[in-house]
Structure 1
C-alpha cells in the first residue's frame, strides 16, 4: 500500500509529496479501544482482514447520516418556510394581475360608455341642427313666396292702373277727336249744301262711323 508523505523544504518553502510503500494501514474509522481490542496497530497489516481495500468515493456511515440529515432539514425548510413564502408571493402576484385586469376591464367599459354617450350627443346635436336648417329653409321659402306674391300683386295693381290711365287717355283722346270730326263734317256739309248742317244728325253719323271703326280696329 502506498502512503503519501508531504514534506516542506526549508530553503525554498515548497511542498514535496513522496509515496512510500507501507506494510501497515491506518484505520481512521476505528477508535483506539477498538484498535487495541483487535491487537493494536501492528495487527492491521496490508492484505489482512483487518486492513480491507478502501473505496475512496464510498461515504462513511456518519457522512451518509449527516448528508441525509441535511437533506431532511432542507426539505423541512422548503416545505414549511420557503414553499409558503413562494406560494404567498405567487398568490399576491396573481391577485395583483387579476386586480389590474379588472381595473382595465372597468376602464374599458367606462371608455366605451363615454364613446357611446358622445356619439348619442353628437347624433342629437346633428338632429337639432338639421331641424333648425329645415325650419330656416321653410321660413325663407315662405318669406320668398310671400314677397313674390306681394310683388306680383303690386305689378298687377300697377298694370291695372296703367291700363286704366291708358283707357282714360284713349277716351279723352276719342272725345277730342270726335269733337274735331264733328266740326269738320259740319263745316264740309255746310260748304257742300250751302246751309248749316243739323248738329245732332252730324254727331250721330260721326258716332256711328267712329264706333264701327273702333270695333273693327279692336
Structure 2
C-alpha cells in the first residue's frame, strides 16, 4: 500500500511529496488499530476500480443522457434529416420539372423550325415558279419581237428587191428601146419593149 508523505519547507516555500510503500494501515474508526495491508480489515485499494457511488452516478448520467437524446436530440436530428431529404426531393422535382420544360421547349422549337423550313421551301418554290413564268413570258415576247423584226426585215428586203427590179427593168427597157431605135431607125414602142423586158426578167427570176 502506498503512503504519501508531505514535507513542507517554510524558508523556500516549497512542498515535497514522497510516496512510501506501507505494509500496514491504521483504522481510525477502530480505535486507531493497525492492520496488515491486504487483510479483511485493511483491504488493498485498486485506484482504477470504480466505487458504488461512481457507478450509480454514471448510470444516472447515462439515463439522463439517453432520455435527452431520445426526446430532444434524436427528434432534432430526425427533423434535420427530414428537412434535408425534403429539400433534396424538392430540388430533384424542380430539376425534373425544368428538364421536362426544356424538352417541351426543344420540341416546340423543332416544330417551329420544321414549319419555317416548310414555309421557306414553299416560298422558294413559288418564287421559282414565278421566275420561270416570267422567263417564259419574256422569251415569248422576245421571240415575238424577233419574228416581227424578221418579218419587217423580209418586207424591207422584198421592197428593196422590187425597187431594184423596177430600176433594173427601167434601165433595161431604156437600153432595149434605144437599141431598137438604132437598129431599125424607127422609134420603138416603149410599152411593148417594157412588156417584153418585164416578161423576160420575170422568167429569169422565176427560173
User: Is the shorter-chain TM-score for this pair beyond 0.5, marking a shared fold?
Assistant: yes
Provide the alpha-carbon RMSD of the alignment.
Answer: 2.5
State the partner residue of 1:24: 25
Cα distance in 2 for partners of 1:206, 1:49 equals 186
Aligned length: 206
The correspondence of residues 37-116 of structure 1 with structure 2, limited to 5 A, is: 39-42=30-33, 44-116=35-107
Tell me: CA distance 1:26–1:178, structure 2 relative to 1, closer, same or farther (3 Å).
Answer: farther
Q: Which runs of 5+ in 2 are unaligned?
A: none
**1:41-96: CA deviation from partner (whole Å, max 9, x where unpaired):** 41645453211222221111221222222222222222222112111111110110
Alignment check: 8 A CA contact 1:3 1:22 kept:
no
Cα distance in 2 for partners of 1:47, 1:178 equals 179
Alignment check: 8 A CA contact 2:26 2:34 kept:
no
TM-score, normalised by the number of residues in structure 1 = 0.80
State the partner residue of 2:14: 14
Alignment check: 8 A CA contact 2:2 2:19 kept:
yes
Compare 141-150 and 96-105 and name the one that shifted more: 141-150
State the partner residue of 1:128: 119
Tell me: CA distance 1:209–1:165, structure 2 relative to 1, closer, same or farther (3 Å).
Answer: same
State the partner residue of 2:148: 157
Q: Which runs of 5+ in 1 are unaligned?
A: 28-34
TM-score, normalised by the number of residues in structure 2 = 0.84
Q: If each structure's strand is expressed as a fraction of its own residues, which one has the higher value?
A: 2
1:142 correspondence with 2:143: no
Tell me: CA distance 1:46–1:198, structure 2 relative to 1, closer, same or farther (3 Å).
Answer: closer
